[in-house]
Structure 1
C-alpha cells in the first residue's frame, strides 16, 4: 500500500524535508510517495532580499530558482510537485484542499508536514508574496519606488530594517544620492536581546553610511500628500509625543504573519495563528502523523 507524505511549503524548511524523504527515507520504504505543495514555482532566496530589492543589484537568476529543476531526477511514481496554495485542512479525514488554478484539489495523506512559513506584512517582498508572479510584481514595484525616491524612511529597526537601511546607505546615502532614515522603537537599533555593544556599533556603522537613526519612536500613521506626491509620516515617541516626517517612500520592515489560514482554528495557537505543536513538533491531539517542521533534514533522523 502506498503511503503518502504531503509537504506543505517549499521554502527553507519544506524543500530540504522533501529532498531528504526522497533521497533517504524512500530508499528504505519503496511504498512511500512524496507530494510537495507550493503556491510558487520557484525557490525564493529571501535571505538576500534586503539587497536585491535595490534596483540593479542582482539578477533574478541569483535569487529565484525553478523548483521543477531540483526534482527532475525523481520518478513520478515517488514524487509530485503541486503548484497551488493550501486552503483547507481536515485532520479527521487526513485530507488537505489545495487551490490549483480554478480547481480545489483534495489530497489525502498518511503524514502531513506543515512548512508554510510566514509572510511579511504589507505585502513586502522580504518573503514570498503569494505566487512567484505576485512576488516578482511586488519586487519590481519596490525597486521602482526606491529608484524614484529621493528620501526614504525605513520603519522598523530589527535585523531586516538594519540590513536594508545599510544597503540603502551603501548604495545611495553615503554618496549623497538619497536621504535615508531608520526609525526604531528602542534607543539603539536591533532587538534588546542583542548586546548593547553590538547595537552601538551597528548605529555607528549606519551613520557612517549616511543613515540617520531615530530611536524611541514608532511609525503610527502615514498619509500621501497629493499636492507634493510625498508621504507624511507621524512618529509617536515612547512618552506619547508626536512628530512628523516627510518622505518620498516609507518602507515597513517589521512583523510577519504565519501562513496558516488553511488550518482549523483548533490547530492554531492564539491571535497570531501559529500552529500548535509539542516538544516533538507534532500537532497535539493528532498522533496519526501531522508534524510541523521548523528546520531541515536532522528532524527526520
Structure 2
C-alpha cells in the first residue's frame, strides 16, 4: 500500500527533505511538497539584491517545479498553496490553493514552513508568493536608490549585513545609521567588535542603546518616517529598514504542540512531542536557534528519520553542528565571524560567505545535491 510523506515548506529545509527522500526512490512512497512560493528563494542574498545594479531577481529566485521533474511523476506532487490547519489525530492538513481548499492525508508529516519578518513589507524572508516577493524587492531597491538617509533597525546578523551592503555602496554619498538595542552589535557576540569596526570603515554610524518603540509618518508631504526610540528620541529618515526578529509560520499547528514562542516542541529526534509521525526542521523549531546551517543539518536528520519511520524502524538522535559558526558579510569585500571562540579573519569570512552570499550553493538545493 502506498504511503504519503507530506512536506510543508519549499525553502531550505523542506526542499532538502523532499530531495533526500525522492533520491532514495523508496518503494510505494509518494512525497507531496506544499509551498506558497513557486520559486526557491535564496533570501540570504536579499540584502544585496536591494542594492541597485547588483543581483537580479533570477539570480536569487529559481522555479521549483523543474528541479523535481528528474524524478518519476508518480513519486511526487507539488502543491502551490499554504497550510491552513493540521489535524494530527486524523493525519490530514488543510491546504489553501488558488482553486480552493484541499485536504491532504499523510502517513508522515514534515513541518518546514520557516519564518517571516514581523513587518510584511520587508523582503528578508519569502513569506508571500513569487510575484509579491519580486515586487517587494523592486520596491525596496527603488526606495534605497532614492533615499539620502537610511536607518537600519536591529543589529543582529541580518541588520549588520544589510548595513554593510548599504555602506559599501553608498557610505560616501548617503547617511546610513544602524540602530542597536544593546551596547554591542550581534547581541554582544565575540565577533561584535570586528563587525562594528568593519561597519565604521564603510561610514555606517552605529547608535547603541537605541531600541525602536514605533514609527510614524513625519510632517505631511515630507515623505519621511520618524523612528521613535525607547527614550523618546526620534530620528527622521527617508527610508526605514527593520530587521528585528522572526515570526515562526506555525499558525496552522494546533497550539498544544507549540511553546511560548510559537515554535514547535520537538524531542531529540526532531519529532514533534506527543506524536509518532510528525517531524519539524528549521525556523519552526529554532532549536538551538534559527540559522541556515542549522536548518540544513536538521533537514538531513529529519529526512533520515522519516525514511526509518516508513520502514518501521526506530529514529536516530538528530546531531547538531560539530562547531558553532557565526559569519557576517560586511559589504562586498570584508566580513566578521568566529568558529566557536576563535575569531575568523575578515578575508576568510569574505571568501566563505561575503563574496557571493552563498549563491554558489543554490544549485545544490535545487538539484538535490546537498541532500
TM over 0.5: yes
**Equivalent residue runs for 1:8-23 within 5 Å:** 8-23=8-23
Q: CA RMSD in A?
A: 1.3
Deviations 1:35-81 (A, max 9, x none): 00000000000111111122221111210010011101111211111
Task: Please give the TM-score of this superposition, normalised by the length of structure 1.
Answer: 0.92
Q: Any stretches of 5+ residues in structure 1 without a counterpart?
A: none
SS in 2 for 1:297: helix
Q: Which among 131, 134, 139 is matched to residue 132 of structure 2? A: 134
Structure 1 position 56 matched with structure 2 position 18: no
Task: Report the CA distance between 1:297 and its aligned residue.
Answer: 2.4
Task: Report the CA distance between 1:298 and its aligned residue.
Answer: 4.1
Task: Report the CA distance between 1:102 and its aligned residue.
Answer: 3.8
Structure 1 position 181 matched with structure 2 position 177: yes
**Counterpart for residue 5 of structure 1:** 5
Q: Which among 194, 197, 212 is matched to residue 219 of structure 1? A: 212
Task: Please give the TM-score of this superposition, normalised by the length of structure 2.
Answer: 0.75
Q: Take 2:95 and 2:52, find their aligned partners in 1: how far apart are those partners?
A: 34
Q: Take 2:193 and 2:22, find their aligned partners in 1: how far apart are those partners?
A: 46
**Counterpart for residue 39 of structure 1:** 36
Q: Any stretches of 5+ residues in structure 2 without a counterpart?
A: 283-297, 305-371
Q: Take 2:89 and 2:45, find their aligned partners in 1: how far apart are those partners?
A: 39
Check the 8 A contact 1:182/1:211 in 2, yes or no: yes
Q: Which among 92, 97, 100 is matched to residue 97 of structure 2? A: 100
**Equivalent residue runs for 1:50-129 within 5 Å:** 50-123=47-120, 124-129=122-127
Q: Take 2:242 and 2:222, find their aligned partners in 1: how far apart are those partners?
A: 21
Check the 8 A contact 1:129/1:138 in 2, yes or no: no
Q: Take 2:125 and 2:95, find their aligned partners in 1: how far apart are those partners?
A: 21
Q: Take 2:138 and 2:303, find their aligned partners in 1: how far apart are those partners?
A: 38
Q: Take 1:59 and 1:227, find their aligned partners in 2: how far apart are those partners?
A: 32
**Counterpart for residue 260 of structure 1:** 250
Q: Take 2:82 and 2:53, find their aligned partners in 1: how far apart are those partners?
A: 31
Check the 8 A contact 2:157/2:186 in 1, yes or no: yes
Task: Report the CA distance between 1:5 and its aligned residue.
Answer: 0.3
Q: Take 1:213 and 1:94, find their aligned partners in 2: how far apart are those partners?
A: 50
Task: Report the CA distance between 1:300 and its aligned residue.
Answer: 3.1
Which structure carries more strand by proportion?
1
